[in-house]
Structure formats: C-alpha cells, structure tokens
Amino acid sequence: MLKVTKSEEPKHNLPCEKFLTPRKLYLPLSQHTGKPSKICVNLQDTVERGQAIAVEDGFISSRLHAPEKAKIIDICEWYHPVLKKAKCIVMEPIEEQEHKFTPREKVNNLDKEALLKIITDNGIVGMGGAAFPTHVKLSPPKKIETLIINGCECEPYLNSDSRLMTEKLDEIFKGVEVICRIIEPKEVIFAVEDNKTEAIKKLHLVFSIKKYKLPNLTLKILKTAYPQGGEKQLIYFLKNRKVPAGGLPLDVGCLVHNVATCFAIYEAVYFDKPLIERLVTFAGDALAQPKNIWVKIGTPIYELFDKGILRFKNEPRKIICGGPMMGIALDNLNYPVLKGTGGFLFLSENYSLGEEGPCIRCGSCVRECPMSLMPTLIDLAARNENWQLAAIYGSADCIECGICSYVCPTRRWLVQSIKQAKIKTPK
C-alpha cells in the first residue's frame, strides 16, 4: 500500500440534496464516447419516466432515456459543453412527483449475458468524465486480471464521488459484484485518495466485515495528487504497469471503473433504472453555498438558479463544466447536465485572463504532459481539422488532465482542441 498522508477534506462535503423536476429537459444525443444515439420517438409524443427516447447506433454507442414522464416538444440544436451545439431532444415534464422503480427479483440468478443486456438497455456509461459505454468496456476481448475501482476524484473542488462513497457505499459494492460476475477478475483494488476522510472511514468498516463476494479485494489509499484519478496513472501507481501508447488498460490486464458508474450499474441491475440522474458538485467562490445535488440528466443549469436551489454570492466571471483542470469553460447557464458531468464551477475571478496567444514554441506543454505527448502538435492538427494527423500524434492517449493548458504561457486552449480531436477522429 502506498504511504497514507492525510490531506484536507473538501469543505463542501455536505449531504446531498435532490432537485426534482425542471421545467424543461435538454438531452443531447451525443453524451457518450462513440456514435450519437438514434432518436426513437417523435415530436409531441408523451414518454414515461425511464422510457428509451434514443437507441444505440452501433456497438460503441449508448441508449438515452426520458428522465421524467414528459412531452417531446422539440428536436433541435442546443448547447453542449464539448461540442458547443449538438442535436438534442427537448422535453417538458408533465409529472412532478418522484416515481419509484420496482426492485428486480432474483438478481443472483442472472447470468453474464443477462447482466450485460441490462447494462446496455439502461444506457450506462462511464461517469468519471469520458462517458465510454459500459457494456463495451465490460465485453473485453482479453482476460481481465485486475479490476480497479476508482474513487480518487483528484480534481480540486469536485467531490460528488467522495460524497457518493460516503452515502451509497453498499450500493457501489453491489455494482462492483455485478462487474465481477461479468468479467471474473482475479483481484479487485479499491483506490481512494487520502483526503476523502469520511468515505475512508466507511471503507474501513466495509473491509473489516468482509461482506462482499469479491476476489482478493484490497483497499489502496493514495496520497492526494493530480492527475491521480486518470486510469492510466492509476494502473501505473497500483500495478506498476504502463498502458502502451494507443493501447487500453485491458492491454495490461486491467479494467478501471469509477465509483459512480458502479452505483449506476447497481441501480440498473437491482431496479431496472436507466441512467437518468446523477450526483453533481456545484462549487466555486461565486456561489453562496456549494452543494452536491442529484440532478436529472438534461437539466439546464439555469433551472437550479431559477428555482433557488443555487444562489450567486458574487457575479461569476468564469463558469466551468467539470473541474478547474480538465473542465470546459461555458459562456452561459443554458448547458445541460450530461451523463458524464461530475460538476460545475462558478468562479468570481476569470483565472485565464486575456485571449489566447500564439504558440511561442517554449516546449512547456511537451515537458509537463504526463502521457509524454506533444500537445502543441495535436492542437495544431485539430485546429486544421486534420483529425487523422491528430490521431497520429496520439490524441487518443491524452487523458485530458489539462496540465498542458495550465502551463502554457500564452494560454493556448490546448486541452479543448485535443478533446475535439478525440471526439471527431473516425473510429
């Protein structure tokens, strides 16, 4: 085990609130890695809560469900944090009360294929940010030796995963059991950073009672550092194995799943509940009170302010979807919560003052990149929309840590254009 060093618990590690029904929901068809979902409803249709409104388009794609009983009122281009604008299903909820999903019977009798089908049908994607379809990740072409459960959440400010571990640890472990039934690893490592003190107390309790049927389960408490939560970094820290350039964790016998994804798998398998809501951190010094809130997928941020759930203390000069390092700057409050959205930051200062300047070839981004990439070259290829060249320079290996943008003296928007390249590169 790595050395345990106690760091400060995030100040807004408060119990979660729930935001029920927004007036409108905006659900982009592109909210996962891979091909956008295909619409399977029509304008003016009334859909039930949890009903599929768009289905997978190919294997690397995901299903999308109605977060509420609602009427489809529009299909249009709408704000999207990564793509800026994207095709979106707009719905008007018509029921205010919370609908409960019925527990599934005989979960223990389900075989691998049945579990995978449930995960596919319920539109589960990785919730740590990349939103890779989970059914694809759980169908590896090679044997997985080590399953790593990622509770690191290393970005400053964000702590929805930490809170989820504090409040829903039993459910997370049941999700991990499901994963183990599908991929049958030899060992499970639960990794968490040492600043998540409340979650760690709960984890020690779970480990002491040995309640779950998991092979060679170990807890690794890592020193808080950035970018510890990247899956390639985690594999290196925990197993001393390097994922090859252009490769995947499965190339070194590992699979990494975020704790929120494990929770979503639990809900899908035990309740047949699709991924229609998630826990989101709202933080930053411009807010009167930072919060962790359960929000329906597709909820535009302005709804939380209009309904008084969130309040500004200062005028926000910078809004970020995600954390300060990997997040994307937003220009208004119309952007919706997506399946991969862990948080929004509202900052009183615009820390990236000024316009971006030209590359002065200082090499800082190249020196500091933890994946040994040349961000400046990928950025140039992406700006020329030469996605193939960006791929040759290794855009797929970028873990989107944001360090290159952070160190760039001319404030080039490197990580944003590399993200674009990753999305646009033909698979």
Q: Residues in the site for ligand SF4, rule: CB under 6 A?
A: 359-365, 369-371, 373, 375-376, 398-404, 407-410, 412, 414-415, 418
Q: Are 307 and 282 in contact (CB under 8 A)?
A: no
- Cα–Cα distance measured from residue 62 to residue 136, given in angstroms and rounded to the nearest whole number: 10
Least distance in angstroms from the C-beta of 413 to ligand SF4: 10
Tokens standing for 18? 């729930």
Whole-number Cα distances in Å, 329 to 161, 211, 214, 298, 335: 22, 43, 40, 18, 11
Least distance in angstroms from the C-beta of 174 to ligand SF4: 33
Question: In sequence order, what are the residues at sequence separation of 6 or more whose Cβ sits closer than 8 angstroms to the Cβ of residue 26?
Answer: 78, 79, 88, 89, 90, 298, 300, 334, 336
Q: Is residue 200 classed exposed, middle or buried when 0-12, 13-18 and 19+ CB atoms within 10 A define those classes?
A: buried
Q: Which helix (H) or strand (E) holds 231?
A: helix 231-239
Least distance in angstroms from the C-beta of 259 to ligand SF4: 22
Task: Give the nearer residue to ligand SF4 in terms of CB position, either 124 or 256.
Answer: 256
Task: Give the nearer residue to ligand SF4 in terms of CB position, either 140 or 370.
Answer: 370
Whole-number Cα distances in Å, 151 to 215, 262, 357, 384, 398: 18, 11, 37, 37, 20
Least distance in angstroms from the C-beta of 409 to ligand SF4: 6
Task: Give the nearer residue to ligand SF4 in terms of CB position, either 185 or 342.
Answer: 342
Q: Which residue has the tokens 């309904």?
A: 307
Least distance in angstroms from the C-beta of 367 to ligand SF4: 9
Radius of gyration in angstroms for the set of CA atoms belonging to the chain, rounded to a whole number? 21
User: Which pairing describes strands 46-47 and 187-193: parallel, antiparallel, or unpaired?
Assistant: unpaired
DSSP result, 152-182? ---SSS--HHHHHHHH-HHHHHHHHHHHHHH
Least distance in angstroms from the C-beta of 231 to ligand SF4: 12
Task: Give the nearer residue to ligand SF4 in terms of CB position, either 259 or 382.
Answer: 382
Task: Give the nearer residue to ligand SF4 in terms of CB position, either 278 or 412.
Answer: 412
Least distance in angstroms from the C-beta of 404 to ligand SF4: 3
Least distance in angstroms from the C-beta of 423 to ligand SF4: 14
Task: Give the nearer residue to ligand SF4 in terms of CB position, either 202 or 383.
Answer: 383
Q: Is residue 89 classed exposed, middle or buried when 0-12, 13-18 and 19+ CB atoms within 10 A define those classes?
A: buried
Task: Give the nearer residue to ligand SF4 in terms of CB position, either 244 or 409.
Answer: 409
- Cα–Cα distance measured from residue 325 to residue 328, given in angstroms and rounded to the nearest whole number: 9
Tokens standing for 247? 């490769």
Task: Give the nearer residue to ligand SF4 in terms of CB position, either 309 or 389.
Answer: 389
Least distance in angstroms from the C-beta of 2 to ligand SF4: 22
Helix 169-183 and helix 112-121: axis angle, to 10°?
120
Task: Give the nearer residue to ligand SF4 in terms of CB position, either 182 or 373.
Answer: 373
